[in-house]
């Protein structure tokens, strides 16, 4: 597996690197720690830009020394450009399977970082993890709590397979969540009660079918994970509600360390019209989030 770790060299970003590198990864996995020197404040070719690049290279070398105990084979790269464009482009050129990018986890920090993190989520052709620092630095190999949000789609199955094929710390807990979106038919306030009753019946039928699909998705996911030696918890009844809200609330209440969900990779008008559950969860979760692309 090829893992691209994008860092801005801040203290939070260093913690993000430690968090990612401390996890067990498949054998012979490699990591590239990437820093992009944003040339916006500089004049191209100026001496200050050269100094900024040399400083970044020295900082990365220092960071790698602190991560030498990792089983990952680590290399570094410093580029000059716009981070929001350079990170996904380098990931594609390098053939990355995963991009890890940090989040400060604060309202102002999220706003400032959002343009980079959100651009990576939208533009990357591979899977992305938004890594958020925990209140306490986790010990190497500490068990995790992983919430898998699924919907039975192809990208959701890709997320399950991604989790199933990776090693995880001993004692790690897994929980499956499949949310049933409520059916909201268009309603004319002046419509006769007869039609209102019909709409209510239609909503019951549609939501019933959606609940059935959610149950089937959970059962299929449990089977796939079980064959990989992973036992995943799941609620008896799939919850009804806005998937974005339910996933975020469940992760917070359960104390999840990581949310994993598939990303449809919608672009342009599809993403605007349909919205992106995965993007909303990635931007607003209180824990780390992985968006898996098939």
Quote the pLDDT of residue 198.
56
Task: Find all residues with CB under 8 Å of 36, minimum gap 6, and list them.
Answer: 6, 78, 79, 80, 81, 82, 83, 86, 87
Quote the pLDDT of residue 69.
63
Quote the pLDDT of residue 197.
54
Q: What are phi and psi of 259, to 5 degrees?
A: -105, 130
Quote the pLDDT of residue 236.
84
Q: Which residues of the chain have pLDDT under 70?
A: 42-45, 68-70, 104-114, 135-138, 184-200, 265-275
Quote the pLDDT of residue 112.
37
137: its two tokens: 């630095």
Nearest residue to 181 via CA among 231, 244, 94: 244
CATH architecture of 1-141: 3-Layer(aba) Sandwich (3.40)
- pTM score, whole prediction: 0.86
Quote the pLDDT of residue 108.
34
* 143-294 shares the fold of 1-141: yes
DSSP string covering 222-275, please? Answer: HHHHHHTT--EEE-SS--BS-HHHHHHHHHHHHT-SEEEEE-----HHHHHHH-
CB atoms within 10 A of CB 132: 21
Domains in the chain: boundaries? 1-141, 143-294
Do 44 and 91 contact (CB within 8 A), yes or no? no
CATH of domain 143-294: 3.40.50.620
Quote the pLDDT of residue 184.
63
Quote the pLDDT of residue 137.
67
Do 149 and 291 contact (CB within 8 A), yes or no? no
* Radius of gyration for the chain, computed over Cα atoms and rounded to the nearest angstrom: 21
């Amino acid at each position: 597996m090829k893992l691209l770790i994008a860092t801005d060299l801040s203290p939070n970003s260093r913690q993000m690197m430690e968090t990612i590198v401390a996890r067990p990864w498949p054998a012979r996995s490699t990591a590239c720690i990437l820093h992009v020197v944003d040339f916006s404040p500089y004049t191209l070719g100026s001496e200050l830009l050269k100094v900024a690049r040399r400083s970044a290279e020295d900082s990365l070398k220092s960071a790698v020394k602190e991560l030498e105990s990792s089983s990952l084979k680590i290399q570094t790269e410093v580029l000059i450009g716009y981070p929001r464009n350079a990170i996904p482009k380098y990931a594609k050129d390098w053939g990355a399977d995963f991009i890890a990018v940090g989040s400060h986890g604060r309202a102002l920090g999220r706003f400032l970082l959002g343009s980079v993190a959100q651009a990576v989520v939208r533009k990357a052709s591979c899977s992305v993890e938004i890594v958020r620092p925990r209140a306490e630095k986790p010990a190497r190999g500490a068990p995790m709590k992983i919430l898998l949000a699924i919907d039975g789609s192809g990208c959701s199955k890709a997320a399950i397979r991604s989790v199933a094929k990776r090693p995880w710390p001993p004692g790690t807990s897994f929980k499956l969540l499949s949310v049933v979106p409520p059916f909201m038919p268009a309603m004319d306030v002046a419509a006769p009660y007869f039609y209102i009753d019909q709409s209510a019946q239609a909503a019951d039928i549609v939501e019933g079918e959606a609940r059935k699909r959610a149950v089937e998705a959970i059962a299929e996911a449990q089977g796939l994970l079980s064959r990989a030696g992973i036992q995943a918890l799941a609620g008896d009844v799939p919850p009804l509600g806005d998937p974005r809200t339910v996933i975020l609330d469940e992760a917070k209440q359960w104390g999840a360390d990581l949310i994993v969900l598939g990303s449809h990779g919608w672009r342009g008008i599809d993403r605007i019209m349909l919205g992106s559950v995965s993007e909303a969860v990635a931007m607003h979760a209180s824990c780390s989030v992985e968006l898996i692309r098939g």
